[in-house]
């Protein structure tokens, strides 16, 4: 399987939008970044978004980092379980692999947990794409801060 797909969710404002990058992929492994998008999370929007002028490298790096973490977590889980629950039931041999699985799984989770946008970053993205007033109002409500559009642009 190959083609293009969105990967690398970054700068997420829960319920409003996030940044994702379209990659050329082979077997769902992101290889070549093509373009970054601001994707709206509205109900019924079905992944509607706006293409950004430049690649967002934080999104690209997160996609490239999450893939090996996910693969390492899966492989070390299987190997650790087979070693621990296999014919010999050798928990001492399987424990390091299960520990690696837990570590890479926690790192994978952390890449999503700590990739939320700050108010400043969300405001920058909102200015960049010219968000409509109802979305800027939701942005202000989410962060309990006032959004001031850049009138010089």
Structure tokens at 125: 């993205």
Give the span between the Cα atoms of 50 and 114, in whole angstroms: 23
- pTM, two decimals, is 0.82
Q: What is the per-residue pLDDT for 46?
A: 57
Structure tokens at 138: 């939701």
Q: What is the per-residue pLDDT for 93?
A: 84
Query: Residue 70: CB partners within 8 Å, gap ≥ 6?
Result: 108
Residues 60-86 pLDDT 10s: 999 999 999 999 999 999 999 998 988
Give the span between the Cα atoms of 37 and 20, in whole angstroms: 5
Give the span between the Cα atoms of 153 and 149, in whole angstroms: 9
Question: Which regions in the chain score pLDDT beneath 50?
Answer: none
Give the span between the Cα atoms of 45 and 16, in whole angstroms: 11
As to burial, measured by CB atoms within 10 angstroms (0-12 exposed, 13-18 middle, 19+ buried), residue 120 is exposed
> Checking phi first, is residue 126 left (phi over 0); if not, alpha (psi -120 to 50) or beta?
alpha
Structure tokens at 4: 């293009």
Report angle CA 72, 35, 55 to the nearest 5 degrees: 85
Give the span between the Cα atoms of 19 and 94, in whole angstroms: 38
Q: What is the per-residue pLDDT for 38?
A: 94
Q: What is the per-residue pLDDT for 134?
A: 82
How many residues would you count in the chain? 153
Give the span between the Cα atoms of 153 and 130, in whole angstroms: 10
Q: What is the per-residue pLDDT for 26?
A: 95
Q: What is the per-residue pLDDT for 47?
A: 57
């Amino acid at each position: 399987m190959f083609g293009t797909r969105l990967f690398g969710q970054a700068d997420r404002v829960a319920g409003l939008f996030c940044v994702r990058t379209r990659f050329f992929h082979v077997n769902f492994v992101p290889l070549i970044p093509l373009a970054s998008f601001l994707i709206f999370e509205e109900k019924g929007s079905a992944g509607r978004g706006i293409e950004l002028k430049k690649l967002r490298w934080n999104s690209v790096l997160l996609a490239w980092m999450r893939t090996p973490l996910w693969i390492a977590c899966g492989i070390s889980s299987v190997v650790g379980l087979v070693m621990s629950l296999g014919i010999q039931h050798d928990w001492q041999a399987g424990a390091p692999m299960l520990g690696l699985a837990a570590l890479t799984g926690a790192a994978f989770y952390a890449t999503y947990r700590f990739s939320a946008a700050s108010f400043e970053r969300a405001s920058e993205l909102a200015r960049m794409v010219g968000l409509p007033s109802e979305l800027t109002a939701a942005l202000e409500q989410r962060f309990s801060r006032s959004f001031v559009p850049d009138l010089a642009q």
